[in-house]
Structure 1
Amino acid sequence: MATVSFHLKRPDAVIPTAIVALVTFDRQRVKVYSGLSILPKQWVKDEQRAKLKGYPQNGAVNDALDLLEERLLTYYDQQRALGLLPTPEALRGLAEPEAPTAPVAARKSFADHYSEWVKLTLAKGKVGTARAGNTTLRHLKDFEQATGYAVDFDTITPVFADAYTSYLLGPANLTDNTIAKHIDRLRRFMRFATERGYTTARGWEKMKWKRQEPDIMTLTTEEVEALEGLELPAGSYLDNARALFLLSCYTGLRYSDLVSIRPEHVRGNTLRITTQKTRETVSIPLQARALLIVTRYLAGGVRLISNQKLNNYLKELGQLAQIDSPIEIIKYRGGNRSSQTMAKWEKLGCHTGRRTFVTLSLEKGLRPELIMKITGHRTWRAFQRYVNITEQTVEREFAKAYEMPELLKVAR
C-alpha cells in the first residue's frame, strides 16, 4: 500500500518554497516535486495543505495537490496490479512541471472552472457524479449556442434560470425532476466557485426548480425469487448480470460500490466499505446468499461490466423471469403530468436493486434507522425516495394487525 504526504522544501523560508510530495511504498520513499510553491506562513503543516482562510486563491493549490495525490496512488495501484513497482522517474513524471504564476480565476473561463470541478469530482472516485456534471455542462453549452445567452459567473441569475429552464423544458425535452437535478448541480458548482474566490456573484442563490417525487419501482420478494430461480448457463453474461444485481438486492449497494469490492472489505460475515458517492463508511451484514456471491466475485467468478450493459441485461433477465406486471410511469414537465403504462421488466435497472433492498428490509421488520445505517442515507427525506411499500404488503400487515384471516389469505 502506498501513502502520499506533502511537505515544504524550506519551511523556514521567507519567500515561496517548493511543495514536495513524499511517496512511501514497499519500504521505499520517493521525493516528487509538485511544481507548486507557497509562502510557509500560508501552509498548515498538520493538514499538509495550504491555508484557505484569508487566502482564497490557495483553493487552486489544494485542488492541484489533491489531483497529484490521486494520480500517484492510482499509478501505484496500476503498477502493482501488473506485478511491478513504480519507478521514481515515472512517479516524478506525474507531477505538473511548474506552479501557476497567477491566480487561476484570472486566466480561466467559466467552462474551464466547471471542467476543473468535474475533474476534482472524478479524482475523488465519484465517476457517476462526474459524468452527470459533464452532462450539465453540455446542456449549458447547447443553451448558449441556441439562445446566444453568454453563460458566466455574473450572468447566472434568476433571469438566466427562467431562460435556461425554458430551454431544458422545450428543445432539450427534459422532465421536471431532471431539470431540478441540473439546477441543483449548477448551484453546487457556483458554491464551489464562490468558496474558491473565483466569483463574488450571488444571483445563483435564487435559482430553483420544483422537483416532483416519482413513483419508486422495486421488486417484490416473489420477483426476486423468480430471478434467483432462472436456469441460466453458468458463467454466461446473464448469469453474471444476475449475480451483480442480486448482490445489490441483498446488500443495498449502488453500482459504483458493487464494482469496488476488494478482499480487505470483507470481515467475516460483514462487508465494510467506503461508498464512492458520499464517502460514507458502511458496515453491511452479509446474509448467506450475499456472502456466496461476494466469495464468487472475489475469486474472479463474477465479471465487472458497465452500468449501461448491466441495465440492458437486466431487462432481458426480467423478461425471462416474467416480471411483467403493468406499472404506470408518471412524468412531469413544467408541472404538467403525463403517464405511460409498460411491463415492469422494461424499467428494470441496476438501481432497482438498492431500492428493493430498502423496501424488502422494511417489510421484513427492520427498523428504518438500521437500514439507513446500512445504506449510508444521512436524512429521512433522502431515504424515503427508496421506499415502496406495495399494496400486497399493506393488506398483509393490516390483516395481521386486525386479525382478518380472509384478507390475509388474499394478500398472500
Structure 2
Amino acid sequence: MKVLNLKNKIWNSHNHAQFLLDKEKDSPTGKIRFRIKWDKNIVAFGVGYRAEFAKWSIETQRCKTNSTHGIKKISASVINKKISDYEAACERVFNSFYYEKKNPDQKSVRDRFNLEIGKKVEKEIEPEKTLFEIFDLFVLEESRINLWTNTTSAKMKTFRKHLKTFDSKLNFENIGEKKLLQYQYFLQDKLQLQNSTTLKNFSFLQWFLKWATRKGFNSNMTFQNFRPKLKTVQKKIIFLTQAELKHVKEFKIPATKKYLDRVTDVFLFQCFTGLRYSDVENLKRSDISENFIEIISVKTSDSLVIELNDHSKAILNKYKDSQFENHKALPVISNQRMNEYLRELMELAKIDEPVRETYYKGNQRYDEVFPRYALMSSHAGRRTFICNALSLGIPPQVVMKWTGHSDYSAMKPYIDIADQTKINAMEKFNLL
C-alpha cells in the first residue's frame, strides 16, 4: 500500500506501512493494527476498532463498503475514516523528518505519530528549540507542502522580522491576551502599519500557532479567542472600463518609448483572458491550442481552460515566431519592472482620473488622492477582464470558470461594480 510520497532515503520500496487484523482464536473479528516499517525499524499502533475478517478487504486494507463490525455494529465508514486519518498522520510525520533532514528512530516516530493523532506523549519534541527556531521549521514545511510563491515567502520573512523586533525572547507560554494586545499596539503605534496589514500579521501568527499546536510545540490556546477589533475598508478595485481598454489598445506609443510595446501586449493579454501575472509569465507554447489555452494555475494549482477571443489570439499570433526563454509564449518581464512600465504607460495614455484611497491606522482615518495610473499594477489586467466580462452580461458562474474563483463571495465586489456600470449606462438615456 502506498502511504507516503517522499523522495528521500527515509522511505523507499523496501519500507511500507499497512493495516493488519490481529487474529485471535475462534474470534470472527480482529483488532486493527497499523504497522510502519522503515530501514530496520518497526512501530505499530492500535486503531481502536475491531473488524470482521469476512468483511475486511486485504487489497484495499479497508472495511468493505456498507458493512458493520463487532458487537456494537460500527459502520465501515467510521472505521475507514480512522484508517485514512492514520495514513495522513503517518505521511505528515515522515515529511517532517524529511524537511528537518533527520533520520527517524522508533521513539521519535512513535512520539510524533501520537501527537498527530491527538495522544499525549511524555515529552514534547525538542523543547529546547526557541519559538523562532520552530517558526523556521514551520516555514520550511509549509512552504514545501503548499508550494509558496516568492511573494508569500517574502511576507513571512517580514512577519518574522516584526515578531522578533517586538520581543526577541518571545515564547509560547507568554503569548496571552496581554502579550497579544501589546503586539497589536506595537504594529499600530511603533510600526505605523495600516489596520489591514496589522490584521494580516495576526492571521500569519494564528497560522503559525495552529501549526505549532498540532505539532505539539504549543499548548497555550489564548490566541484562538483573540480577535483585534480594527476598522478596515474595502480596497478599491482598479481596472479599465471598456472605453479605457479600447483607448489603451489603440494608443500610439511614442517612438522614444518603444520598450512599452511588449508591456502593453502582455497587459492586454491579461485583460482579454483574466490570467494572473504569474500564469502569463508561466504560459508556454504547449499550453496554447487553436481556440483555447489550458493551464495549471501557479497560485492555486487549479486546472483552467480559457477560450481565446480575437484580441487574445492576435497577441499570441504577433509573437508566434519569436523565441523566448523556457519556451514561453509571451515576452514577460519581472513583475516589478512591469508594474513600473505599466504606470508609465497609463500616465502617457492619460488614465489619470483622481482616486481617493481610504485606510485606517488604529482609530485614525486617512484619505489620500492619487491619479489612477499611480495605482496600476499587472493585477489590474485580471480585474479589467472580470469587471468587463460581468458588465457585458456574462454570467458570474462562467467568469469564475475562466478565472478559477471557487468562492462566489470573492466575486461580489466585481458584481457590485458591474451593477453600478449598468446603472451609469442607463443614465445616459437622460441626455437624449
TM-score of the superposed pair, with normalisation by structure 1: 0.72
Shift >4 Å, 4+ stretches: 3-6, 12-16, 54-58, 100-105, 233-236, 385-388
| From 224, 228, 240, the counterpart of 2:249 | 228
Match for residue 193 of structure 1? Answer: 212
Judging changes above 3 Å, is the alpha-carbon distance between structure 1 residues 46 and 338 closer, same or farther for their aligned structure 2 residues? farther
Is residue 2:240 matched to residue 1:219?
A: yes
Judging changes above 3 Å, is the alpha-carbon distance between structure 1 residues 152 and 259 closer, same or farther for their aligned structure 2 residues? farther
Equivalent residue letter for 1:348? M
Judging changes above 3 Å, is the alpha-carbon distance between structure 1 residues 248 and 54 closer, same or farther for their aligned structure 2 residues? closer
Judging changes above 3 Å, is the alpha-carbon distance between structure 1 residues 213 and 141 closer, same or farther for their aligned structure 2 residues? same
| From 175, 185, 190, the counterpart of 1:171 | 190
Judging changes above 3 Å, is the alpha-carbon distance between structure 1 residues 8 and 250 closer, same or farther for their aligned structure 2 residues? same
Judging changes above 3 Å, is the alpha-carbon distance between structure 1 residues 236 and 242 closer, same or farther for their aligned structure 2 residues? same
Does the CA-based 8 Å contact 1:252-1:353 persist in structure 2?
yes
Match for residue 345 of structure 2? Answer: 317
Is the partner of 1:190 in helix, strand or coil?
A: helix
Equivalent residue letter for 1:133? M
Does the CA-based 8 Å contact 1:176-1:212 persist in structure 2?
no
In structure 2, how many angstroms separate the alpha carbons of the residues matched to 1:382 and 1:238? 32
In structure 2, how many angstroms separate the alpha carbons of the residues matched to 1:38 and 1:257? 44
In structure 1, how many angstroms separate the alpha carbons of the residues matched to 2:410 and 2:208? 21
CA RMSD of aligned residues (A): 3.6
Match for residue 430 of structure 2? Answer: 406
Say which is worse superposed, 166-175 or 303-312, in terms of deviation: 303-312
**CA displacement 1:238-288 (0-9 Å, x = unmatched):** 222222222222222222222222234334322222222222222222222
Is the partner of 2:12 in helix, strand or coil?
A: strand
| From 222, 225, 229, the counterpart of 1:206 | 225
In structure 2, how many angstroms separate the alpha carbons of the residues matched to 1:381 and 1:38? 50
| From 266, 272, 296, the counterpart of 1:250 | 272
In structure 2, how many angstroms separate the alpha carbons of the residues matched to 1:389 and 1:139? 36
Judging changes above 3 Å, is the alpha-carbon distance between structure 1 residues 8 and 193 closer, same or farther for their aligned structure 2 residues? farther
Is the partner of 1:291 in helix, strand or coil?
A: helix
In structure 1, how many angstroms separate the alpha carbons of the residues matched to 2:85 and 2:137? 18
Does the CA-based 8 Å contact 2:17-2:37 persist in structure 1?
no
| From 135, 138, 141, the counterpart of 1:117 | 138
| From 157, 161, 172, the counterpart of 1:153 | 172
In structure 2, how many angstroms separate the alpha carbons of the residues matched to 1:342 and 1:238? 22
**CA displacement 1:2-48 (0-9 Å, x = unmatched):** x9866342449988524xxxxxxxxxxxxxxxxxx864758xx999x
Q: CA deviation at 1:398?
A: 3.3
Is the partner of 1:323 in helix, strand or coil?
A: coil
Q: CA deviation at 1:236?
A: 4.7
Match for residue 339 of structure 1? Answer: 367
In structure 2, how many angstroms separate the alpha carbons of the residues matched to 1:278 and 1:319? 32
| From 340, 345, 349, the counterpart of 2:377 | 349
Judging changes above 3 Å, is the alpha-carbon distance between structure 1 residues 385 and 64 closer, same or farther for their aligned structure 2 residues? farther
Is the partner of 2:240 in helix, strand or coil?
A: coil
In structure 1, how many angstroms separate the alpha carbons of the residues matched to 2:348 and 2:368? 22
Equivalent residue letter for 1:334? G
Equivalent residue letter for 2:189? G
TM-score of the superposed pair, with normalisation by structure 2: 0.69
Match for residue 76 of structure 1? Answer: none
In structure 2, how many angstroms separate the alpha carbons of the residues matched to 1:246 and 1:46? 51
Say which is worse superposed, 271-280 or 228-237, in terms of deviation: 228-237
Is the partner of 2:167 in helix, strand or coil?
A: helix
Is the partner of 1:271 in helix, strand or coil?
A: strand
Ranges in structure 1 where 5+ consecutive residues have no aligned partner: 19-36, 69-95
In structure 2, how many angstroms separate the alpha carbons of the residues matched to 1:388 and 1:314? 26
**Percent identity between the aligned chains?**
24
Equivalent residue letter for 2:131? F
Ranges in structure 2 where 5+ consecutive residues have no aligned partner: 19-34, 46-58, 62-82, 113-124
Q: CA deviation at 1:326?
A: 0.8
Judging changes above 3 Å, is the alpha-carbon distance between structure 1 residues 165 and 237 closer, same or farther for their aligned structure 2 residues? farther
Does the CA-based 8 Å contact 1:275-1:282 persist in structure 2?
yes
Q: CA deviation at 1:322?
A: 0.8
In structure 2, how many angstroms separate the alpha carbons of the residues matched to 1:178 and 1:15? 45
Judging changes above 3 Å, is the alpha-carbon distance between structure 1 residues 7 and 245 closer, same or farther for their aligned structure 2 residues? same
| From 100, 103, 126, the counterpart of 1:99 | 103
